[in-house]
Structure 1
Amino acid sequence: MKEKDLLFFQPLWRRIAVTLFCALWAGWEWLSGQHLWGIIITGVTLYCYWTLFHTFEPAKPDAEKRD
């Protein structure tokens, strides 16, 4: 991800909201019988989880950066 993207996703609620939205969307596609889109959006959801939770490094406060 680019640095500007990482700044947007610093608040935890945004990361949760995006991942939850993708998970609900994937569930909707699976339940409505759209298996191809279900697979695609499930992949997007897994990518969101991996990028926004598993490998995400929150920015350190400015006080720690100065030291």
Structure 2
Amino acid sequence: MALKENDLKWFRPLWRRVAVAAFLLLWLGWELFYTKDTFWAVLVGAALVYVAWNFFYNFPKEQPNDALPPAGSADDENRQDP
């Protein structure tokens, strides 16, 4: 499941993604070592895997604003297509 545009904007800062992952990691540790509740440990572990995949591995890279010239610039006007 891909993240929506609003979610991408909100999670763009790295600290927010790390905070969510750290919270889930702490919760998983709580469930595994203190409560020993297997159901919640599996549920939180699955959420942590989902977050790791979408927030760190599959998260779109931010494109710099100066990578592409603005539309209608001098480069576009002087270019001749064969």
TM-score (norm 1): 0.88
Across the aligned residues of Structure 1 and Structure 2, the Cα RMSD in angstroms comes to 1.4
1:7 to 6, 9, 17: 9
- The alignment of Structure 1 onto Structure 2 pairs a total of residues equal to 67
Identity over the aligned pairs, expressed in percent?
Answer: 36
CA gap of 1:63–1:16, structure 2 versus 1, over 3 A, is same
1:61 partner letter: P
State the structure with bigger RCO (CA 8 A, min sep 6), 1 or 2: 1
Moved over 2 A (4+): 61-67
TM-score (norm 2): 0.73
Unaligned runs of 5+ in 1: none
Looking at secondary structure, tell me which structure has more helix per residue. 1
